[in-house]
């Protein structure tokens, strides 16, 4: 429960235009906090503006915008209770075929931008004995094919979170990681569109090697998103991390994430490779001849393992 003293505190939520960020902003405002909701466009600001929610134009990759949110917080007499680093993009493509500009863009948004905002707001968080909530993913622990850039940035965010937690815990600031599984947000649809665009730019040889893989992954994302956790449900997990007096260092969001995190450490890399390959094959264009028999054998082995269908990642 939010106390009357907490109701006078600020929270910054990045990536609050849609999805989990917007739902998190609304959930925290409902609990009485004053939320500075980072959005990138004026029409997104108009959509989310409401009691307890103050939209702020914020692109976490632009230093002047990061400096502006830090100045806004510093000028407010209320304490900064939490920073929720939620902004993110999903870009999928094979390691060989994904242009370096896309690798840099993913890391700029999904890692370096969060670090920049955290650095800018840490003085206020230290004064208020607040906390940092980093929104990671099951992809921050287990990387599927075509998720190299996205999962790489999330793996790095997990490591940065561990390091930061050990640095600032003695100073009274808590650092928490939230790891969602499949969530019904727009990020998966945007990811599919981006993957198709990047696939269209692959060389003929790369298309031959990876075309079916991209199609299978897109089909998996589309089917998994429809059955994933709602953004509102994920927001309640984030709100728990924000408001619990003694939060855990990590929270999962969704049954699939919880199951994967429990089972993953007990599987060898090769076993996990086979399971993930079988999961993708169920969404691949139908093979023929010997390829069909091989796919059926791998799929049968995958079905024998106690592993959930891996859904589109946050």
Strands (E), 26-116: 34-39, 53-57, 80-85
Q: Is residue 238 domain-shared with residue 299, that is, in the same domain?
A: no
Q: Tell me the pLDDT tens digit for each residue of 149-160.
A: 999 999 999 999
Q: Is residue 242 domain-shared with residue 287, that is, in the same domain?
A: no
Tell me, yes or no, whether 198 lies in a domain: no
Q: Is residue 235 domain-shared with residue 305, that is, in the same domain?
A: no
Q: Is residue 166 domain-shared with residue 296, that is, in the same domain?
A: no
Tell me, yes or no, whether 162 lies in a domain: yes
Q: What distance in Å separates the CA atoms of residue 50 and residue 194, rounded to the nearest whole number?
A: 32
Tell me, yes or no, whether 288 lies in a domain: yes
CATH of the domain at 133: 3.40.50.720
Tell me, yes or no, whether 191 lies in a domain: no
- pLDDT value at position 7? 59
**Are the C-beta atoms of residues 4 and 77 closer than 8 Å to each other?**
no
- pLDDT value at position 192? 83
Q: Is residue 256 domain-shared with residue 301, that is, in the same domain?
A: no
Q: Is residue 36 domain-shared with residue 173, that is, in the same domain?
A: yes
Q: Is residue 278 domain-shared with residue 250, that is, in the same domain?
A: no
Tell me, yes or no, whether 217 lies in a domain: no
Q: How many helices (H) and strands (E) does the chain have?
A: 12, 9
Q: Is residue 163 domain-shared with residue 294, that is, in the same domain?
A: no
For 289, the domain range is 267-309
Q: Is residue 235 domain-shared with residue 301, that is, in the same domain?
A: no
Active site residue 150: yes
Q: Is residue 260 domain-shared with residue 275, that is, in the same domain?
A: no
Q: Is residue 239 domain-shared with residue 300, that is, in the same domain?
A: no
Segment 102-110 long-range contacts (CB within 8 Å, at least 24 positions apart): 102/149, 102/198, 103/149, 106/149, 106/150, 106/152, 106/153, 107/149, 107/152, 107/153, 107/156, 108/61, 109/60, 109/61, 110/150, 110/153, 110/154, 110/157
Residue in 142, 150, 210, 251 annotated catalytic: 150
**Are the C-beta atoms of residues 181 and 234 closer than 8 Å to each other?**
no
- pLDDT value at position 136? 95
- pLDDT value at position 307? 39
Structural domain count, the chain: 2
- pLDDT value at position 228? 73
Count the neighbouring beta carbons within 10 Å of the beta carbon of residue 297: 11
Q: Is residue 71 domain-shared with residue 121, that is, in the same domain?
A: yes
Residue 12's DSSP bridge partners are 36, 83
Tell me, yes or no, whether 205 lies in a domain: no
Tell me, yes or no, whether 70 lies in a domain: yes
Weakly modelled stretches of the chain, pLDDT under 50: 1, 288-314
Tell me, yes or no, whether 206 lies in a domain: no
């Amino acid at each position: 429960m939010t106390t009357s003293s907490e109701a006078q505190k600020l929270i910054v939520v990045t990536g609050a235009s849609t999805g989990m960020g917007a739902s998190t902003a609304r959930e925290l405002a409902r609990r009485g906090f004053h939320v500075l909701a980072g959005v990138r466009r004026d029409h997104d600001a108009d959509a989310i503006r409401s009691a307890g929610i103050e939209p702020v134009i914020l692109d976490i990759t632009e230093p002047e915008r990061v400096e502006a949110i830090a100045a806004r917080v510093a000028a407010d007499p209320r304490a900064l209770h939490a920073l929720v680093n939620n902004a993110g993009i999903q870009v999928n493509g094979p390691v060989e075929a994904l242009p370096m500009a896309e690798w840099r863009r993913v890391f700029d948004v999904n890692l370096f931008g969060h670090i920049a905002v955290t650095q800018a707001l840490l003085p206020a968080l230290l004064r208020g004995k607040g906390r940092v909530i980093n929104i990671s993913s099951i992809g921050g622990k287990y990387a599927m094919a075509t998720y190299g850039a996205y999962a790489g940035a999330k793996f790095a965010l997990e490591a940065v979170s561990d390091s930061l937690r050990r640095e600032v815990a003695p100073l009274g600031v808590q650092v928490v990681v939230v790891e969602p599984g499949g969530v019904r947000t727009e990020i998966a649809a945007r990811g599919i569109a981006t993957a198709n665009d990047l696939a269209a730019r692959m060389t003929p040889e790369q298309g031959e090697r990876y075309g079916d893989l991209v199609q299978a992954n897109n089909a998996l994302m589309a089917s998994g998103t429809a059955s994933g956790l709602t953004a509102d449900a994920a927001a309640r997990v984030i709100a728990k991390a924000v408001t619990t007096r003694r939060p855990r260092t990590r929270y999962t969001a969704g049954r699939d994430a919880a199951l994967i995190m429990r089972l993953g450490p007990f599987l060898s890399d090769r076993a996990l490779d086979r399971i993930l390959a079988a999961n993708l094959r169920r969404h691949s264009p139908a093979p023929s001849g010997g390829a069909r028999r091989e796919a059926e054998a791998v799929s049968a082995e995958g079905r024998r393992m106690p592993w959930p269908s891996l859904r589109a990642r946050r």
